[in-house]
Structure 1
């Protein structure tokens, strides 16, 4: 077996080993407001994430009620206080002052009201370490309102658990870079988005000849197809990402996730038994509109003011595009080199599409069950 064949076989094995579920990433939402000598805020943590730490659903009915949370409330408060540390020139110990429930696009969240004495001026540091031990991809999405009324934002991750906000506007650039990075990560861990693009792009180096495939004679022909697909997908998801993040159009998270899984399944089936439009860019555009709602779920739930929202929206979208381009830069040259081998149409295109379709069918089934944890 050639080196290229081994590489493709390895990629197929990776597809088969992807997680059976690909959801909106695990996020918590932290809003802090800094005043002259105190800090107040709220911290929204998904009940499903707290269940992973405290095993709240003791009766295994896929619901979390108030009684189940109440029995562990003091433990939750201690956990929160130990995993979120704020300081200026001295530590600002946070206290949980109240509890509530709220519903985000992906389910029910416990809301912890926070307060702290926080005297002193200058830089404010936030150290975040919640939930990383149970989910390495978890993120804390932070919105900070300064004493002067400026709103700053940041993404807290396992790789970047500490953020420092200097006086003035320097942190705006840091926030922008953080959202670019988060957009790249969102693509890297968004298996459904990745597989949708792979399913769209796998036939780009071939031309359908009746029921058979023949290789494209020149790279320029494949490049034209790839550019059309990526451009259509980018335009479509950018439109709905912006509309959803600005609150102009909203769809239920479970519905969006289910349609995304369906888009992956239908595109994979079309690679084996063609039934969708032959111009793949039209498929990319149509389904890209739905994928944009999936991209928007993180930013919409953070509820940033318009000024900060524009910054985070642009940064996140830039990151998504960079992630897509990286995928194309790896996939297309390799596919072009393999296009004339018997391995490509039979194993890579058809076999890879079958593997993608099976994964998508599993996602669609799981997401359609609607097993959200209910609010208490």
Structure 2
């Protein structure tokens, strides 16, 4: 991997509650004050949330790490998008609520799962290879509930709710495409260097550690009453 890619991954591994990606401040105030359909600002919020959502981005990094064809990338990203779109919209619109710490803990574990899969851990340790497409779709559903919990924490108005939710989800997809473009560009450059193959294992071990770290922070917060991150 390139130095830039290693640096980005290392910073993500050091993520703490201080790097939380909740919707707050002026963004939260805007959402609370919205009294009707307001699609463009909600799309911006969705894009901003996805770009700053280090846990979602780490999972995407794991998903595309060993995908070399654009068709494969499109398939897996589409499955992920389908999953998180369904639960984001359903979770908020029908008020399906889960504890945000537990949801984010599972999201952290999804990062660890994909890294373990990339390392060949399932075949080596258990002698089986779970269908990666089903895993990406399933974890996409969990990531969608993670997005939903961020909106559920705000004072959403019922008037124009569906329009605003769809706009937010469109923004999430735009943010995902922007982030994915950067990730793929970095991965493409890294794959062209002789160092990629020998460092791929180390990179996924680091990704595995990051996933467990993110999950541990959330579980500690749930167990000891820490702030929702």
When normalised by structure 2's length, the TM-score is: 0.83
1:253-332 equivalent positions in 2, closer than 5 A: 253-275=100-122, 277=129, 279-332=131-184
Equivalent residue number for residue 201 of structure 2: 350
Equivalent residue number for residue 25 of structure 1: 22
* Unmatched segments (≥5 aa) in structure 2: 123-127
CA deviations 1:39-63 (Å, max 9, x no partner) are xxxxxxxxxxxxxxxxxxxxxxxxx
Larger radius of gyration: 1
Equivalent residue number for residue 249 of structure 1: 96
- Indicate the SS of the match to 2:29: strand
CA deviations 1:230-277 (Å, max 9, x no partner) are 100000001110111113422111110110111111111211134274
Aligned equivalents of 1:278, 1:341: Cα separation in 2: 30
CA deviations 1:174-212 (Å, max 9, x no partner) are x3211111111111211100000001101102xxxxxxx
Aligned equivalents of 1:364, 1:373: Cα separation in 2: 14
Q: Which of 215, 220, 229 lines up with 1:364 in the alignment?
A: 215
1:168-247 equivalent positions in 2, closer than 5 A: 172=37, 175-205=38-68, 222-247=69-94
Structure 2 CA distance for partners of 1:308 and 1:299, relative to 1, 3 Å: farther
Aligned equivalents of 2:132, 2:196: Cα separation in 1: 19
Aligned residues: 217
Aligned equivalents of 2:6, 2:140: Cα separation in 1: 24
CA deviations 1:316-365 (Å, max 9, x no partner) are 11111111111222333443454354322222x32221222212211212
Aligned equivalents of 2:219, 2:63: Cα separation in 1: 24
CA contact (8 A) 1:237 1:289 kept: yes
Instruction: Quote the offset at 1:26 in angstroms.
Output: 5.3
1:36-185 equivalent positions in 2, closer than 5 A: 139-144=28-33, 151-152=35-36, 172=37, 175-185=38-48
Structure 2 CA distance for partners of 1:21 and 1:191, relative to 1, 3 Å: same
**Which structure is richer in relative contact order (CA contacts within 8 A, separation 6 or more)?**
2
CA deviations 1:287-321 (Å, max 9, x no partner) are 01100011112322334344421122111111111
CA contact (8 A) 1:27 1:141 kept: no
Aligned equivalents of 1:289, 1:26: Cα separation in 2: 20
Aligned equivalents of 1:288, 1:327: Cα separation in 2: 16
* Unmatched segments (≥5 aa) in structure 1: 29-127, 129-137, 146-150, 153-171, 206-221
Structure 2 CA distance for partners of 1:337 and 1:373, relative to 1, 3 Å: closer
Structure 2 CA distance for partners of 1:355 and 1:273, relative to 1, 3 Å: same
- Indicate the SS of the match to 1:304: coil
Aligned equivalents of 1:358, 1:318: Cα separation in 2: 31
- Indicate the SS of the match to 2:31: strand
Equivalent residue number for residue 9 of structure 2: 15
Aligned equivalents of 1:346, 1:288: Cα separation in 2: 30
Aligned equivalents of 1:296, 1:12: Cα separation in 2: 30
When normalised by structure 1's length, the TM-score is: 0.53
Structure 2 CA distance for partners of 1:350 and 1:363, relative to 1, 3 Å: same
Structure 2 CA distance for partners of 1:339 and 1:14, relative to 1, 3 Å: closer
Equivalent residue number for residue 60 of structure 1: none
